[in-house]
A = this chain, B = another copy of it.
């Protein structure tokens, strides 16, 4: 077995394949994942796993230099917005409209579908570089 870090085999692969500026999107259960996208369906139940925990789990191993969220999150989901701000307090958080967000996210290398059931709980993690 794997000793520590990300235990999910597919997400382990996703993270280890990410290059600088590659995008990995973590989305809520209602997100319309593009037809031809590569994604892992991690949904366990309504709200499980939640958006913030999934971000933290991925951050065990993924270096992130920037994140993109929909501006609507601040207005409609302050709780998660606040947590996102805390988690990424030291890096750039770019805000786009939800429609723009979906357009950008289409170029993600991978999607992770969570059980999150609160509005606009979607984030694009832009991979950083470890050198």
Q: How many copies does the complex hold?
A: 10
Per-residue contact bits, chain A 57-99, to B (CB 8 Å; 1 contact, 0 not): 1000111000000000000000000000000000000000000
From known contacts A12-B15, A20-B31, infer whether A130 and B63 are also in contact, taking CB-CB under 8 Å: no
**In the complex where A17-B9, A20-B32, A30-B20 touch, is A48 in contact with B45 (Cβ < 8 A)?**
no
Of the listed residues A10, A32, A46, the one surrounded by the most CB atoms of chain B closer than 10 A to its CB is A32
Given A1-B130, A20-B30, A31-B20, A7-B45 contact (CB < 8 Å)? yes
Instruction: Out of B4, B15, B45, B130, name the residue touching A61 (CB < 8 Å).
Output: B4
Given B18, B40, B130, which contacts A46 in the complex, CB threshold below 8 Å?
A: B130
Of all chain B residues, which has the CB nearest A131? B117
| Distance between Cα atoms of A16 and B53 in the complex (Å) | 19
Interface residue ranges, A against B (CB under 8 Å): 1-10, 12-13, 15-22, 27-33, 35, 38, 40-46, 48-49, 53-54, 57, 61-63, 109, 115, 117-119, 127-131
* 4 pairs of A and B residues whose beta carbons are closest in the complex: A19-B32, A117-B131, A12-B16, A13-B13
